Chain A
Amino acid sequence: MSAEVVLQTEVVGRRNEHLYFALRNPKVAIGLGIVLALLVLGLVGPFFLSDSPNEYVGPKSEAPSGEYWLGTTYFGQDVFTQFVHGLRSSYLVGALGGGISFVIGLAIGFAAGYRGGMVDEILNMITNVVLVLPALAVLIVISSYLEVRGVVTQAVIIGIFSWPWVARAVRAQTFTLRNRDYVDLARLTGKRAPQIIMREIMPNMASYLLMSVILLFGGAILFAAMLDFIGLGPTNAVSLGTMMQQSMAWSSLHLGMWWWFVPPGLAITLIVGALYITNVGLDEVFNPKLREM
């Protein structure tokens, strides 16, 4: 096939090559740039601004100015301070929620795909059930029963309900990989299953896993924003979703206070969009076929 000629020249140093192409891919560069820039803002920003984003610091409902970069809320809170804190919670939810679902999906996918048989039947059934369960509705019911909600709890429950498609994909990939020669060889040399999965199977789907993590990260952020917007956000912190919820609750729309509701949604769109674009770029990096000249 078409790859055969190329393969023989590039067996060594494939990892470096990927990194090389990744950094030169404009989609990856732009996507990662946006994600990292907003991350830095969320991480560093709060140190320069107030620790309590809900403090009433200025005049009410003021448009953006030199002093209040993104204006103030209906109550006179600084929107920029809230925004920066909100970024922080969004990244936390993304990392934690995405991370948890990734680990669950990975574990279930590997177990089902590698073990096969009865284990697979049961795990696959569970996966399919969670897959059709409308996650947001379930999350709403669960979070509404929580009296105190933190960013971490939110991330955990999001993680618990958004793993199924990763599990499905990992299972399918493991199925195709587990009968490869090198896996057989590893098995013959007496390596145990976890070791084989970690050493032989996982590296061969690394690109795929990386892209799954990115998608889960973005998905968790979107999920959290929706929960927040219904009023089930963290009770002890500001998030981009709660900002939107507050702005709607105090009719910023009718008051024309666009600086209150535009930035949080824009930030989410930017983060998630940039993640998706990074993913497309990575896809091109890992699949030389897509690397158009």
Chain B
Amino acid sequence: MGRYFRRKLLIYGLTFFIAVSINFAVPRLMPGDPVARMLTRNSVSNLESSEAMRGYFNDIFGLDVPLWKQYLNYWVALFQGDLGVSVFAFPAPVSSVVADALPYTLALLLPSILLSWIVGNAMGAMAARNKFLDNGALPIGYVLTAVPYMWLAILLAWVGGIILGWFPVAGGYSFALTPAFTWTFIVDLVHHWVLPFLSLFLVALGGWAIGMRNLVIYELESDYANYLQALGAPNRLVRRYAFRNAVLPQVTGLALQLGVVVGGALVTEVVFAYPGLGSLLLNAVSNQDFFLLQGILLFIVIGVLVFNFLADIVYVLIDPRTRLGLEGGQS
């Protein structure tokens, strides 16, 4: 077990290291001088921020300093929580801009990931049991996994927002309201949350259902299921075992799918102008706000890694094979 976690932590540490290094390297490797490009572009519209940026730029990205020292400075700044200053939201530091948007993204992501996982697994297990249900659920599942996240979001916004007019199609809350801990505001918040949540939930649902269905069928064909049946065990018992064992790879799948779902959340937010990381990202891209862009990437990487680690812990708790530190578990 210790070996398992050491290995995992090594991978996550390495991933973080590589993500940071990509962040460091990309602006320097790209043809031309993107940072300078960003600054010149920005100096036209916002002289003040440009000046501050230049100062920051000289401090950390100082071109008179050798590359390895720049790299070192970059890490030092990172550990001080200094991700630079946002151009687009000048003079707010990147870290606080990101921190403001984060709750919205989490409020979308966490429920949609967990609920789609639970509901999808339940549906998949049911489909594996019933031929009739299977024929109906499977095609729907495949269509859902094939839908681009933003397109389903657009359709939902169009149908639920424009045609039916049931839900607002833009923003995290009404412009008329100011954020406060009041009943009106919370209802408004939820009202704005429903469509983007539903969109994310639905796209992810199909994948879990299909995965679970296939896994349960696979488990039902496995040796231990055959043996139980040969000893006359009722289907109830065999299915219960199959379901329990099929859930295990789905936990790993949850962690592996995370990167994709986060990507989905980003574009869904863009569709609904939901004030989370996705909309922030869009602003960063269109304003060429590279520091903000990189800050967002870093937050996403950290989030994904933390979540992965949580999934690992859950996995160890439910699968005796990894708990015993023997072969057989996932690597």
Binding site for B on A (CB under 8 A): 124-125, 128-129, 131-138, 140-142, 144-147, 165, 218, 222, 225-226, 229-232, 241, 244, 248, 253-254, 256, 258, 261-262, 264-266, 268-273, 275-277, 280, 289
Instruction: Tell yes or no: B22 within 8 A of A by CB.
Output: yes
Assembly CA distance A135 to B281 (angstroms): 15
- In the assembled complex, 6 residue pairs joining A and B whose CB atoms fall closer than 8 Å, in A order, are A128-B331, A136-B262, A144-B293, A253-B169, A258-B158, A269-B146
CB proximity of A167 to chain B, nearest CB, Å:
13
Instruction: Tell yes or no: B142 within 8 A of A by CB.
Output: yes
The answer on a CB contact under 8 Å between A132 and B305 is: yes
List B contacts of A265 (CB < 8 A). Answer: 147-148, 150-152, 154-155
List B contacts of A248 (CB < 8 A). Answer: 150, 154, 270-271
The answer on a CB contact under 8 Å between B142 and A273 is: yes
The 8 A CB mask of B189-211 against A (1 = contact, 0 = none) is 00000000000000000000000
The answer on a CB contact under 8 Å between B267 and A226 is: yes
Assembly CA distance A225 to B267 (angstroms): 10
CB proximity of B61 to chain A, nearest CB, Å:
14
The answer on a CB contact under 8 Å between B301 and A137 is: yes
The 8 A CB mask of B221-256 against A (1 = contact, 0 = none) is 100000000000000000000000000000000011
Give the most central of A241, A248, A275: most B CB within 10 Å. A248
Which 6 pairs from chain A and chain B are nearest by CB?
Answer: A265-B151, A136-B263, A273-B146, A134-B259, A272-B146, A145-B30
Instruction: Tell yes or no: B260 within 8 A of A by CB.
Output: yes
Assembly CA distance A276 to B32 (angstroms): 41
* B interface residues, how many (CB within 8 angstroms): 65
The 8 A CB mask of B155-189 against A (1 = contact, 0 = none) is 10110011000000100000000000000000000
The answer on a CB contact under 8 Å between B26 and A230 is: no
List B contacts of A269 (CB < 8 A). Answer: 143, 146-148, 151
Secondary structure type dominating chain A contacts: helix
The chain A residue with its CB closest to the CB of B13 is A129
Binding site for A on B (CB under 8 A): 10-12, 14-15, 18-19, 22-23, 26-27, 30-32, 34, 37, 138-139, 142-143, 145-152, 154-155, 157-158, 161-162, 169, 221, 255-256, 258-260, 262-264, 266-267, 270-271, 281-282, 284-286, 288, 290, 293-294, 296-297, 300-301, 304-305, 308, 331
Total number of A-B contacts with CB less than 8 angstroms? 166
The chain A residue with its CB closest to the CB of B300 is A137
Give the most central of B23, B145, B146: most A CB within 10 Å. B146
List B contacts of A165 (CB < 8 A). Answer: 256
The answer on a CB contact under 8 Å between B34 and A145 is: yes
Assembly CA distance A244 to B150 (angstroms): 9
Q: Given A256-B162, A289-B221, are A134 and B301 neighbors across the interface (CB < 8 Å)?
A: yes
Which one of A125, A136, A264, A273 contacts B143 once the chains associate, using CB atoms below 8 Å?
A: A273
CB proximity of A163 to chain B, nearest CB, Å:
14
Q: Given A132-B308, A226-B267, are A268 and B151 neighbors across the interface (CB < 8 Å)?
A: yes
Beyond A125-B10, A134-B258, 17 additional pairs, beta carbon < 8 A:
A134-B300, A134-B304, A137-B259, A137-B262, A140-B293, A144-B293, A147-B34, A229-B148, A229-B150, A248-B270, A254-B162, A265-B148, A265-B151, A266-B151, A273-B146, A275-B146, A276-B145
Assembly CA distance A280 to B267 (angstroms): 28
Q: Given A125-B11, A253-B154, A289-B221, are A136 and B266 neighbors across the interface (CB < 8 Å)?
A: yes
List B contacts of A132 (CB < 8 A). Answer: 11-12, 15, 255-256, 259, 304-305, 308
